[in-house]
Amino acid sequence: MPTLPSLLSEDIATWYDEAERARQAGHVDTAQRLLDRILARAPSHVGALYAYGVLAFQSKQMESALNWIERAIEARPDPASYNLLCLIQIRLGALADARQTAQQGLALQPDLLSLNYFLALALQMQGHAGDAALAYRRVLELDPDHQLAHANLGVVAIHLGELDDAERHLRQALALDPTYLGARSNLATVLLATGRYEEAWPYFEDRWANMVDEQGRPTPERPHVPLPQWNGENPNVTRRADGMPVRGPRLLVFHEQGFGDSLQFVRYLPLALEHFSQVGYICPQPLKPLYEQSFGQRWPGVVVLDNVEPNFDEWDWYCPLMSLPMAFGTRLDNIPAFTYLYADPGRAAAWHARLAALPNADLPRVGVVWAGGHSGFAADRVRSMTSAQMAPLLAMPHIRWISLQKTDDPAKRPDPTIDSCLTNWMDEIGDFADTAALIENLDLVISVDTSVAHLVAAMGKPVWLLNRFSGCWRWLRDREDSPWYSRVRIFTQPQRGDWDDVLEQVVAALKQTFPPHGGRDDPRSNRYLVKHAS
């Protein structure tokens, strides 16, 4: 005759099987009732604890899932539980915990494919590119056709500056899944960084797959517009409104991405007037006064629109701003590099008077920007410095240092010691037109890779770019100049995070450009600037 414990064990096994069938069939309430029955009899039943964790995970209750799986591991360490716990921790952003969990699980089962992948993913998200690359290669040893491992290793290789390796893995990811838009977008980055623009632009059309907002969340897909996208063809459209004469075709251009992207690519708006009678640009408000000042009299066919949904009936074609280079067939040898942004003369004169009233007004005037915007972006952490890191520059006393740093992040404001070295009027700056007017009165701007650098360069003023290792594709690789701007000089980190070397180079260049005893009217002080203005 069976004993009571064995009968209970048989009941629990039956309930567990029924709970699993109910869970897999989507009958959550039934599964939970059965699991509750099991845990009332056997509080440390690993299968029930794990199943409850799965149910919570599937319903996106991550904290609850975390609790259930931790209880399952406490009852009995198991690779499957570590695997799910690691994924939950990644979803919660607890990346250090996820890394530790993965290592604990792999100690029990080193060849568990999914846990090796989660370890690599956690390392990548933490910014440990070298370790992530090793981990992804381990995944590919276990499964050479692991598409996500190829795709993510391609991204990691970009950050490591290994573009050939990045291209190889991204192309392999696309061979495994040609519809993977994220890999297409990242391949575009590789091709653009290596100057292969003609091949890159079609892949760049899938850039929306990798866009995120300031909180790192995926952004919506590309805008859905009830107009055909212009890709460079002859628009050849005319319209006759009731009682109105025939008019030529009109192009509507959508803003996308950041202010720096806009400042770089609005150069194409005047060029589009060769094909359209009018070009409208839906513009963020901080840029609108600057663009109205720059385009209004010179290119009256360019219309700067408020950042609201337009009346599509007034337009014939549309184009996202950063698709214009493809529409114009942009190559390295035909980039339209010209001055296209201008300061308002009245605003510039007001700043001129204030600068002239300062003591030692003949000192060279150099603007500085040490940090970008969007503090939540991973890229911002590697492109930005702290104000204290700029000390080797600001310690040079024969230069008038002008802050151009605008930020809502208190951590990016100058600390008191640095602030004492700066002329800082940025609290009075309301938009990019104000910034342009101040820049008009400067001899040079030294900036990390952010919107101000593009503004200075688009105005035809000299800018020295402090560029992170394996920086943005638009600065290419291994160059000190830029085909996009005639007066940019690039100082690039020799290795990730090494701003000291960059600043040493900049200090040496400043001493040559602005000798300690040369003022703004000393011809020696503009040697470099004049040479590179041609």
Give the chain's largest Cα–Cα span. Answer: 108
How crowded is residue 298: how many other Cβ atoms within 10 Å of its Cβ? 11
pTM as predicted: 0.88
- Write down the pLDDT at residue 311: 92
Q: Note whether 84 and 67 are within 8 A (CB).
A: no
Mean pLDDT for 413-422 is 82
* 350 falls within a domain: yes
Residue in the structure block whose two tokens are 């299968």: 47
Indicate whether 8 pLDDT > 80.
Answer: no
Same domain, 40 and 158: yes
Same domain, 162 and 300: no
Query: What are the DSSP calls for 224-249, one per residue?
Result: --SSPBP-SS-----B--TTS--B--
- Write down the pLDDT at residue 7: 39
Indicate whether 513 pLDDT > 50.
Answer: yes
* 445 falls within a domain: yes
Same domain, 330 and 349: no
Q: Note whether 138 and 156 are within 8 A (CB).
A: no
How crowded is residue 237: how many other Cβ atoms within 10 Å of its Cβ? 13
- Burial readout 126-149 (b: 16 or more C-beta within 10 A, e: otherwise): eebbebbbebbebbbeeeeebbbb
Q: Note whether 396 and 415 are within 8 A (CB).
A: no
Least confident of 9-18, 467-476, 490-499, 523-532: 523-532
The size of the chain, in residues, is 534
Considering the chain, what is the average pLDDT of its residues?
90
Question: pLDDT per residue over 288-321, tens digit each?
Answer: 999 999 999 899 999 999 989 899 999 999 999 9
- Write down the pLDDT at residue 416: 79
- Write down the pLDDT at residue 217: 64
Same domain, 351 and 313: no
Q: How confident is the model at residue 414 (pLDDT cuts 50, 70, 90)?
A: confident
- Write down the pLDDT at residue 2: 38
Least confident of 359-363, 413-417, 456-460, 463-467: 413-417
Mean pLDDT for 449-458 is 97
Same domain, 370 and 508: yes
Specify the CATH number for the domain of residue 135: 1.25.40.10
Same domain, 10 and 159: yes
Same domain, 484 and 432: yes
Q: How confident is the model at residue 236 (pLDDT cuts 50, 70, 90)?
A: confident
Q: Note whether 298 and 270 are within 8 A (CB).
A: yes
> What are the respective helix, strand and coil percentages of the chain, to the nearest 5?
55, 10, 35
* 242 falls within a domain: no
Question: pLDDT per residue over 159-173, tens digit each?
Answer: 999 999 999 999 999
* 289 falls within a domain: yes
Range of the domain at 122: 4-178
* 202 falls within a domain: no
Q: Hey, what are 456's tokens?
A: 């200075």
Same domain, 262 and 372: no
- Write down the pLDDT at residue 5: 42
Mean pLDDT for 41-62 is 90
Q: How confident is the model at residue 3 (pLDDT cuts 50, 70, 90)?
A: very low
Tell which of 334, 366, 385 closes a domain.
334
CB proximity list for 26: less than 8 A, separation 6 or greater: none
Residue ranges in 414-476 assigned as alpha helix (H)? 416-419, 432-439, 451-458
Same domain, 113 and 160: yes
By DSSP bridging, strand 278-282 and strand 317-320 are unpaired
* 399 falls within a domain: yes
- Write down the pLDDT at residue 26: 85
Residue ranges in 328-383 assigned as alpha helix (H)? 345-356, 378-383
Same domain, 10 and 155: yes
Mean pLDDT for 504-531 is 69
Mean pLDDT for 325-346 is 97
Same domain, 326 and 450: no
Tell which of 158, 178, 198 closes a domain.
178
* 213 falls within a domain: no
Indicate whether 469 pLDDT > 50.
Answer: yes
- Write down the pLDDT at residue 233: 95
Residue 261 to residue 134: CA distance in whole angstroms: 33
Half-sphere exposure of 257 (CA within 13 A, CB side): 19
Specify the CATH number for the domain of residue 349: 3.40.50.2000
Question: pLDDT per residue over 181-232, tens digit each?
Answer: 999 999 999 999 999 999 999 999 999 998 866 555 666 567 789 999 999 9
Same domain, 370 and 491: yes
Indicate whether 131 pLDDT > 80.
Answer: yes
Q: How confident is the model at residue 437 (pLDDT cuts 50, 70, 90)?
A: very high
Question: Quick one: which of 361, 439, 349 has its CA closest to 402?
Answer: 439
Tell which of 141, 159, 178 closes a domain.
178
Residue 185 to residue 198: CA distance in whole angstroms: 15
Question: pLDDT per residue over 76-109, tens digit each?
Answer: 999 999 999 999 999 999 999 999 999 999 999 9
**Whole-number CA gyration radius for the chain:** 29
Q: Would you say the C-alpha torsion 478, 483, 485, 486 has a positive or negative sign? A: positive
Specify the CATH number for the domain of residue 297: 3.40.50
Residue 133 to residue 153: CA distance in whole angstroms: 6
* 194 falls within a domain: no
Q: Note whether 53 and 79 are within 8 A (CB).
A: no
Q: Note whether 69 and 46 are within 8 A (CB).
A: no
Least confident of 82-96, 255-269, 270-284, 416-430: 416-430
Please give the residue that has the higher pLDDT: either 15 or 186.
186
Residue 381 to residue 383: CA distance in whole angstroms: 6
Based on the structure, what is the number of domains in the chain?
Answer: 3
